[in-house]
Every structure is written in C-alpha cells, then in structure tokens.
Structure 1
C-alpha cells in the first residue's frame, strides 16, 4: 500500500513519455508551431498528471515517516543513490509539467511574432493550466 501511495501512477506517466510523446515532440523541432497540436492530441494521457499531483501530499507525508526514511537510507547505503534522491525523482513529473508550460509560452511568443497560427499552442497552455486547477480541486473536495 505504501508503494502505491509513494509512486501513484508514475509508471503510466513515464511510459507515455518514453513510448509515445517523446518521438512526436522531437518531430516538432523543425516546425515549432505544431507543438501545440501534439500536446492536445495526448490530452487524455496528460490527465494522468492530475492523479499523480493530487497524490503528492500523501506521498510527501509518507516520505517523512521514520519507516520510509530508514528504508531509503538503507537503500542509499547499498546503492549509489542518496536518500533524498527519491524525493527529487518523484518531483520530476511535476517539474516537467511546469517546464512544458514555459516551453509553450516561448513558442507562443515567437510564433505570434512570426505571424503563425498559435491557437493550438494557446489551447495546449490552457490545457496544462487546467490540469493544475483540477489538482487543486481534487485537494479541496475532501474539505467540503
């Protein structure tokens, strides 16, 4: 049960990025304004971030427990990974989502200056912002 709390659906997110999204996003290097449509195409996969991000508070609480700290400390001794690496690694999907927003905002700025159609890029930014708002709503629901 602790494993499910700690890692949530990170495997789904990683699989999506490795098997589908990375190759398509790489193709956008030659046509940056097409990047928005790639994000929008995979909206359902990006919705996996909602569960992952909503579960982070519980995971962070668990990471602070003595049992989990001891486990990762022992694991760190047996491997070359420091104990705090797990916290850093579990934060990466959240950081990635924010980096995508920054990337898309940059593309939007330059594509607009070039007179290109930016509607998909703007819609992709809106989609990513909506994911963060959905996470906030998930956290507020239990309080009602």
Structure 2
C-alpha cells in the first residue's frame, strides 16, 4: 500500500484526510507547511503527497519543486489539493511538477481513485 504524506496549513484538514487514509490501512504522515513537508518526505519517503498550495513558509508550488529536486531516486506522486483554481493555477501546478490537480472541496472518491491507481501500479511493477 502506498505511504501517504498529507500537507495542509489547516491542521484539521490535514489530520482528517490522514485519518481517512489510516482507516483504509495506509501509513500516513502529516505536515503543516511546505518546508516541513520537504523535510518529512526525505525520511518518510512517501509514495504520494497531497499538497495544499497556499501555505506559509514555503507554498505548495515551491514544495513540489523542492520535492522533485531532493527525491530524484524515489519520486512521489504529487497531488495539488487546493482551493486555488483556474487555468493559471493549473499551469503553475504543472510547471512545479504536480502529477494531479484537485480543487477543494475534494470528492474523497477522486482521492481514493488516485491512491488505488498508484497501488495497482506498485503491485504490478517488477521487484
């Protein structure tokens, strides 16, 4: 099962999403700003990161770029999970290295589908 890092400066949002994935059997970790996320990811080595955009210290765009630089050998799937919307925000997310872009409030089924697809790919890759 994929390891999941949930990053949001709204602690209740991050903690709630992590609890939902915990209940499904995933190993999760939470961070509450982009810099914390980059540091946590290096030791936790998540397979997928749900990352808010508007955060203090280091925003989601900067965190995504940093994660792409420091996790070259084990790159996680990056999911922008944000209230920021519009074509410019989507383009900036693509430029920062996000794999998916989901606007809040997110349908949990969409998030589950992303994680389930990653789970299937992980199961089917050679060992």
Interval of TM-score (by shorter of Structure 1 and Structure 2): under 0.3
- Structure 2 length normalisation: TM-score? 0.27
TM-score with structure 1 setting the length? 0.24
Higher share of residues assigned strand = 2
**Rg: which structure is higher?**
1
Larger relative contact order (C-alpha < 8 A, sep ≥ 6)? 1
From the two aligned structures, give the one with the greater helix fraction: 1
